[in-house]
Structure 1
Amino acid sequence: MTKTEIIQRNVRFNQWVQSLESLSNEEWLSPVKPGKWSIAEIIAHLTYWDRYFLKERYPKIKAGARLPRSIDVHVMNQGASLYARSGVSKKEIIKEFLETRDLLIKAINARSEEELDAPFYNREHPETLRKCLITFCEHDRHHKHQIEDFLHKAPEVEEMN
Protein backbone atom coordinates (compact mmCIF):
# COMPACT_ATOMS: atom_id res chain seq x y z
CA MET A 1 0.00 0.00 0.00
CA THR A 2 1.43 3.39 -0.96
CA LYS A 3 1.63 6.39 1.33
CA THR A 4 -1.15 8.04 -0.70
CA GLU A 5 -3.41 5.00 -0.26
CA ILE A 6 -2.77 4.95 3.49
CA ILE A 7 -3.63 8.65 3.70
CA GLN A 8 -6.76 8.18 1.58
CA ARG A 9 -7.95 5.35 3.85
CA ASN A 10 -7.49 7.59 6.87
CA VAL A 11 -9.34 10.48 5.22
CA ARG A 12 -12.25 8.20 4.30
CA PHE A 13 -12.29 6.78 7.82
CA ASN A 14 -12.45 10.34 9.21
CA GLN A 15 -15.46 11.04 7.00
CA TRP A 16 -17.14 7.87 8.22
CA VAL A 17 -16.47 8.73 11.89
CA GLN A 18 -17.88 12.21 11.28
CA SER A 19 -21.08 10.59 9.98
CA LEU A 20 -21.55 8.98 13.42
CA GLU A 21 -22.62 12.39 14.77
CA SER A 22 -26.10 11.61 13.42
CA LEU A 23 -26.54 8.63 15.77
CA SER A 24 -28.93 8.80 18.66
CA ASN A 25 -27.40 8.87 22.14
CA GLU A 26 -28.82 5.40 22.72
CA GLU A 27 -27.00 4.02 19.65
CA TRP A 28 -23.83 5.93 20.60
CA LEU A 29 -23.74 4.63 24.18
CA SER A 30 -25.08 1.07 23.78
CA PRO A 31 -22.60 -1.85 23.68
CA VAL A 32 -22.18 -3.09 20.10
CA LYS A 33 -22.61 -6.64 21.52
CA PRO A 34 -23.18 -7.91 25.04
CA GLY A 35 -19.95 -7.46 26.99
CA LYS A 36 -18.39 -5.26 24.28
CA TRP A 37 -17.73 -1.53 24.08
CA SER A 38 -20.15 1.13 22.92
CA ILE A 39 -19.46 3.18 19.80
CA ALA A 40 -18.37 6.02 22.09
CA GLU A 41 -15.81 3.74 23.74
CA ILE A 42 -14.53 2.44 20.38
CA ILE A 43 -13.94 5.94 18.99
CA ALA A 44 -12.27 7.06 22.25
CA HIS A 45 -10.10 3.91 22.08
CA LEU A 46 -8.94 4.84 18.57
CA THR A 47 -8.18 8.40 19.69
CA TYR A 48 -6.17 7.24 22.71
CA TRP A 49 -4.06 4.91 20.57
CA ASP A 50 -3.49 7.55 17.88
CA ARG A 51 -2.34 10.03 20.55
CA TYR A 52 -0.02 7.48 22.11
CA PHE A 53 1.44 6.54 18.75
CA LEU A 54 1.99 10.18 17.73
CA LYS A 55 3.58 11.19 21.04
CA GLU A 56 5.50 8.11 22.13
CA ARG A 57 6.21 5.92 19.11
CA TYR A 58 6.18 7.88 15.87
CA PRO A 59 9.02 10.30 16.79
CA LYS A 60 11.29 7.34 17.66
CA ILE A 61 10.67 5.38 14.46
CA LYS A 62 13.79 5.77 12.36
CA ALA A 63 15.98 3.34 10.43
CA GLY A 64 17.64 0.93 12.85
CA ALA A 65 15.83 2.29 15.93
CA ARG A 66 15.06 -0.10 18.79
CA LEU A 67 11.75 0.81 20.40
CA PRO A 68 11.20 -0.29 23.97
CA ARG A 69 8.23 -2.26 25.17
CA SER A 70 4.92 -0.50 24.67
CA ILE A 71 2.56 0.54 27.44
CA ASP A 72 0.02 -1.79 29.02
CA VAL A 73 -2.75 -2.28 26.45
CA HIS A 74 -5.36 -3.02 29.12
CA VAL A 75 -4.58 0.20 31.00
CA MET A 76 -4.79 2.28 27.79
CA ASN A 77 -8.08 0.68 26.73
CA GLN A 78 -9.58 1.03 30.20
CA GLY A 79 -8.68 4.74 30.24
CA ALA A 80 -10.40 5.26 26.89
CA SER A 81 -13.48 3.37 28.05
CA LEU A 82 -13.74 5.34 31.31
CA TYR A 83 -13.32 8.61 29.42
CA ALA A 84 -16.08 7.71 26.94
CA ARG A 85 -18.44 6.91 29.83
CA SER A 86 -17.52 10.05 31.84
CA GLY A 87 -20.30 12.17 30.36
CA VAL A 88 -18.21 13.70 27.57
CA SER A 89 -20.41 14.50 24.58
CA LYS A 90 -20.56 12.57 21.32
CA LYS A 91 -19.59 15.77 19.50
CA GLU A 92 -16.47 16.18 21.67
CA ILE A 93 -15.33 12.54 21.28
CA ILE A 94 -15.71 12.78 17.50
CA LYS A 95 -13.98 16.18 17.39
CA GLU A 96 -11.03 14.82 19.40
CA PHE A 97 -10.77 11.79 17.14
CA LEU A 98 -10.80 13.90 13.97
CA GLU A 99 -8.21 16.37 15.29
CA THR A 100 -5.89 13.58 16.38
CA ARG A 101 -6.29 11.60 13.18
CA ASP A 102 -5.60 14.75 11.14
CA LEU A 103 -2.30 15.07 13.03
CA LEU A 104 -1.53 11.45 12.18
CA ILE A 105 -2.28 12.08 8.49
CA LYS A 106 0.08 15.09 8.52
CA ALA A 107 2.76 12.97 10.21
CA ILE A 108 2.41 10.24 7.57
CA ASN A 109 2.56 12.82 4.81
CA ALA A 110 5.80 14.21 6.26
CA ARG A 111 7.60 10.89 5.69
CA SER A 112 8.90 9.74 2.34
CA GLU A 113 8.07 6.34 0.83
CA GLU A 114 11.66 5.32 1.69
CA GLU A 115 11.21 6.34 5.33
CA LEU A 116 8.03 4.28 5.50
CA ASP A 117 10.08 1.21 4.55
CA ALA A 118 13.12 1.85 6.79
CA PRO A 119 13.44 -1.13 9.13
CA PHE A 120 13.39 -0.62 12.90
CA TYR A 121 12.83 -2.95 15.83
CA ASN A 122 9.73 -3.04 17.99
CA ARG A 123 11.25 -4.81 20.98
CA GLU A 124 13.22 -7.42 19.04
CA HIS A 125 10.83 -7.76 16.10
CA PRO A 126 11.76 -6.17 12.74
CA GLU A 127 9.13 -3.69 11.62
CA THR A 128 8.55 -0.79 9.24
CA LEU A 129 6.40 2.29 9.61
CA ARG A 130 4.43 1.22 6.54
CA LYS A 131 3.59 -2.14 8.19
CA CYS A 132 2.47 -0.30 11.35
CA LEU A 133 0.25 2.06 9.38
CA ILE A 134 -1.33 -0.78 7.40
CA THR A 135 -2.02 -2.58 10.68
CA PHE A 136 -3.72 0.59 11.95
CA CYS A 137 -5.90 0.68 8.82
CA GLU A 138 -6.90 -2.94 9.49
CA HIS A 139 -7.64 -2.06 13.12
CA ASP A 140 -9.87 0.81 11.95
CA ARG A 141 -11.65 -1.55 9.55
CA HIS A 142 -12.23 -4.11 12.31
CA HIS A 143 -13.91 -1.52 14.52
CA LYS A 144 -15.87 -0.03 11.60
CA HIS A 145 -17.29 -3.49 10.85
CA GLN A 146 -18.23 -3.95 14.52
CA ILE A 147 -20.08 -0.64 14.52
CA GLU A 148 -21.78 -1.19 11.16
CA ASP A 149 -22.90 -4.70 12.16
CA PHE A 150 -24.43 -3.23 15.31
CA LEU A 151 -26.16 -0.37 13.47
CA HIS A 152 -27.51 -2.56 10.66
CA LYS A 153 -28.45 -5.60 12.73
CA ALA A 154 -31.90 -6.95 11.92
CA PRO A 155 -34.30 -6.98 14.87
CA GLU A 156 -34.18 -10.22 16.80
CA VAL A 157 -36.95 -12.60 15.78
CA GLU A 158 -38.56 -14.25 18.76
CA GLU A 159 -38.60 -18.02 18.64
CA MET A 160 -42.02 -19.60 18.49
CA ASN A 161 -42.63 -22.40 20.99
Structure 2
Amino acid sequence: MEKKRIMEEELATAEWAESLKAVPDELWFRPFREGAWGPADVISHFITWDKFLIQNRISYLLRGDEPPKLKVDVDALNKHASDFARSGISKEDLIDEFVLVRNALVTFIDKIPEERFLQPYPGNPEITLLDYFSGMVAHDRKHQKEIDAHVRPLPL
Protein backbone atom coordinates (compact mmCIF):
# COMPACT_ATOMS: atom_id res chain seq x y z
CA MET A 1 0.00 0.00 0.00
CA GLU A 2 1.36 3.43 -0.86
CA LYS A 3 0.83 6.80 0.82
CA LYS A 4 -1.92 7.88 -1.60
CA ARG A 5 -3.84 4.63 -1.03
CA ILE A 6 -3.50 4.98 2.75
CA MET A 7 -5.00 8.46 2.57
CA GLU A 8 -7.84 7.22 0.35
CA GLU A 9 -8.60 4.37 2.76
CA GLU A 10 -8.57 6.70 5.75
CA LEU A 11 -11.00 9.07 4.02
CA ALA A 12 -13.19 6.14 2.93
CA THR A 13 -13.55 5.19 6.59
CA ALA A 14 -14.84 8.69 7.33
CA GLU A 15 -17.33 8.43 4.46
CA TRP A 16 -18.44 5.02 5.70
CA ALA A 17 -18.95 6.46 9.19
CA GLU A 18 -21.42 9.00 7.78
CA SER A 19 -23.67 6.09 6.82
CA LEU A 20 -23.85 5.09 10.49
CA LYS A 21 -26.07 8.07 11.20
CA ALA A 22 -28.89 5.83 9.94
CA VAL A 23 -28.16 3.12 12.52
CA PRO A 24 -31.09 2.75 14.90
CA ASP A 25 -30.38 4.07 18.37
CA GLU A 26 -31.01 0.66 19.94
CA LEU A 27 -28.03 -0.74 17.97
CA TRP A 28 -25.75 2.29 18.42
CA PHE A 29 -24.70 1.33 21.96
CA ARG A 30 -25.51 -2.39 21.90
CA PRO A 31 -22.34 -4.48 22.29
CA PHE A 32 -21.31 -6.74 19.42
CA ARG A 33 -21.21 -9.59 21.92
CA GLU A 34 -21.00 -10.03 25.69
CA GLY A 35 -18.33 -7.72 27.12
CA ALA A 36 -17.57 -6.06 23.76
CA TRP A 37 -18.02 -2.56 22.45
CA GLY A 38 -20.85 -1.26 20.33
CA PRO A 39 -20.62 0.99 17.25
CA ALA A 40 -20.55 4.20 19.33
CA ASP A 41 -17.53 2.96 21.27
CA VAL A 42 -15.63 2.12 18.09
CA ILE A 43 -16.25 5.52 16.49
CA SER A 44 -15.05 7.20 19.67
CA HIS A 45 -12.06 4.84 19.70
CA PHE A 46 -11.18 6.06 16.20
CA ILE A 47 -11.35 9.68 17.39
CA THR A 48 -9.16 9.02 20.42
CA TRP A 49 -6.45 7.23 18.47
CA ASP A 50 -6.51 9.65 15.54
CA LYS A 51 -5.93 12.52 17.98
CA PHE A 52 -3.17 10.53 19.68
CA LEU A 53 -1.44 9.96 16.33
CA ILE A 54 -1.68 13.62 15.36
CA GLN A 55 -0.43 14.92 18.70
CA ASN A 56 2.09 12.27 19.71
CA ARG A 57 3.40 10.85 16.46
CA ILE A 58 2.80 12.77 13.24
CA SER A 59 3.44 16.26 14.63
CA TYR A 60 6.92 15.09 15.68
CA LEU A 61 7.60 13.40 12.35
CA LEU A 62 6.74 16.61 10.51
CA ARG A 63 9.25 18.53 12.61
CA GLY A 64 11.88 15.87 11.93
CA ASP A 65 11.94 14.84 15.59
CA GLU A 66 11.63 11.37 16.99
CA PRO A 67 8.28 10.91 18.71
CA PRO A 68 8.56 10.74 22.49
CA LYS A 69 8.78 7.34 24.08
CA LEU A 70 5.48 7.28 25.88
CA LYS A 71 4.18 4.54 28.09
CA VAL A 72 0.77 4.36 26.50
CA ASP A 73 -1.99 2.90 28.62
CA VAL A 74 -4.05 1.45 25.79
CA ASP A 75 -6.79 0.22 28.11
CA ALA A 76 -7.14 3.66 29.72
CA LEU A 77 -7.32 5.40 26.33
CA ASN A 78 -9.91 2.92 25.11
CA LYS A 79 -11.93 3.32 28.33
CA HIS A 80 -11.80 7.10 27.87
CA ALA A 81 -13.09 6.64 24.31
CA SER A 82 -15.95 4.44 25.45
CA ASP A 83 -16.84 6.84 28.27
CA PHE A 84 -16.90 9.73 25.81
CA ALA A 85 -19.18 7.80 23.43
CA ARG A 86 -21.59 7.25 26.31
CA SER A 87 -21.31 10.74 27.81
CA GLY A 88 -24.50 12.00 26.20
CA ILE A 89 -23.00 13.14 22.91
CA SER A 90 -25.42 12.47 20.08
CA LYS A 91 -24.70 9.85 17.45
CA GLU A 92 -24.59 12.56 14.79
CA ASP A 93 -22.19 14.76 16.77
CA LEU A 94 -19.90 11.83 17.53
CA ILE A 95 -19.76 10.83 13.87
CA ASP A 96 -19.24 14.46 12.81
CA GLU A 97 -16.34 14.75 15.25
CA PHE A 98 -14.82 11.57 13.92
CA VAL A 99 -15.08 12.82 10.33
CA LEU A 100 -13.47 16.13 11.34
CA VAL A 101 -10.61 14.47 13.21
CA ARG A 102 -10.06 11.84 10.49
CA ASN A 103 -9.87 14.57 7.83
CA ALA A 104 -7.29 16.36 9.99
CA LEU A 105 -5.31 13.12 10.30
CA VAL A 106 -5.29 12.69 6.52
CA THR A 107 -4.15 16.31 6.10
CA PHE A 108 -1.23 15.59 8.44
CA ILE A 109 -0.39 12.33 6.66
CA ASP A 110 -0.39 14.23 3.37
CA LYS A 111 2.31 16.56 4.74
CA ILE A 112 4.69 13.66 5.37
CA PRO A 113 7.10 13.42 2.41
CA GLU A 114 6.50 10.34 0.25
CA GLU A 115 10.07 9.09 0.66
CA ARG A 116 9.66 9.15 4.45
CA PHE A 117 7.12 6.35 4.16
CA LEU A 118 9.80 3.89 3.10
CA GLN A 119 12.12 4.72 5.98
CA PRO A 120 12.06 2.98 9.35
CA TYR A 121 9.49 4.17 11.83
CA PRO A 122 11.27 6.27 14.47
CA GLY A 123 11.99 4.21 17.54
CA ASN A 124 11.11 0.95 15.78
CA PRO A 125 13.50 0.09 12.95
CA GLU A 126 11.63 -3.17 12.31
CA ILE A 127 8.82 -1.38 10.45
CA THR A 128 8.47 1.52 8.03
CA LEU A 129 5.93 4.33 8.21
CA LEU A 130 4.17 2.58 5.34
CA ASP A 131 3.87 -0.56 7.48
CA TYR A 132 2.66 1.50 10.43
CA PHE A 133 -0.08 3.29 8.49
CA SER A 134 -1.03 0.13 6.58
CA GLY A 135 -1.60 -1.49 9.97
CA MET A 136 -3.89 1.39 10.92
CA VAL A 137 -5.95 0.84 7.78
CA ALA A 138 -6.23 -2.88 8.52
CA HIS A 139 -7.30 -2.05 12.08
CA ASP A 140 -10.02 0.29 10.78
CA ARG A 141 -11.27 -2.34 8.34
CA LYS A 142 -11.52 -4.91 11.13
CA HIS A 143 -13.72 -2.57 13.15
CA GLN A 144 -15.78 -1.60 10.10
CA LYS A 145 -16.57 -5.26 9.38
CA GLU A 146 -17.51 -5.74 13.02
CA ILE A 147 -19.91 -2.80 12.93
CA ASP A 148 -21.35 -3.71 9.53
CA ALA A 149 -22.08 -7.26 10.69
CA HIS A 150 -23.77 -5.81 13.76
CA VAL A 151 -25.99 -3.20 12.12
CA ARG A 152 -26.67 -4.39 8.60
CA PRO A 153 -29.35 -6.99 7.97
CA LEU A 154 -28.17 -10.26 6.47
CA PRO A 155 -28.91 -10.65 2.76
CA LEU A 156 -31.77 -12.99 1.87
Matched residue of 1:61: which SS? helix
Tell me the CA shift for residue 106 of structure 1. 0.7
Determine the C-alpha separation between the residues in 2 that align with 1:68 and 1:101.
Answer: 24
2:40 pairs with 1:43: no
Aligned to 1:107: 108
Determine the C-alpha separation between the residues in 2 that align with 1:92 and 1:110.
Answer: 27
The CA RMSD measured in Å over matched residues stands at 1.9
Determine the C-alpha separation between the residues in 1 that align with 2:6 and 2:71.
Answer: 23
Aligned residues between the structures: 153
Within 5 Å, give how 1:127-142 maps onto structure 2. 127-142=127-142
Q: Is the 8 A contact 2:21 2:91 kept in 1?
A: yes
Unaligned runs of 5+ in 1: 155-161
Within 5 Å, give how 1:22-37 maps onto structure 2. 22-37=22-37
Tell me the CA shift for residue 60 of structure 1. 2.3
2:139 pairs with 1:147: no
Cα deviation code 1:24-70 (max 9, x no counterpart)? 11111111212110100110001100001100111223778364134
Compare 65-74 and 44-53 and name the one that shifted more. 65-74
2:85 pairs with 1:91: no
Q: Is the 8 A contact 1:44 1:84 kept in 2?
A: yes
Code of the aligned partner of 2:82: S
Aligned to 2:58: 58
Unaligned runs of 5+ in 2: none
**Higher helix residue share:** 2
Determine the C-alpha separation between the residues in 1 that align with 2:143 and 2:71.
Answer: 21
* Shift >4 Å, 4+ stretches: none
Determine the C-alpha separation between the residues in 2 that align with 1:152 and 1:100.
Answer: 25
What's the TM-score, normalizing by structure 2?
Answer: 0.89
- Go from structure 1 to structure 2 and tell me whether the alpha carbon gap of 1:68 and 1:143 turns closer, same or farther (over 3 Å shift): same
What's the TM-score, normalizing by structure 1?
Answer: 0.86
Determine the C-alpha separation between the residues in 1 that align with 2:113 and 2:73.
Answer: 30
Determine the C-alpha separation between the residues in 2 that align with 1:102 and 1:47.
Answer: 11
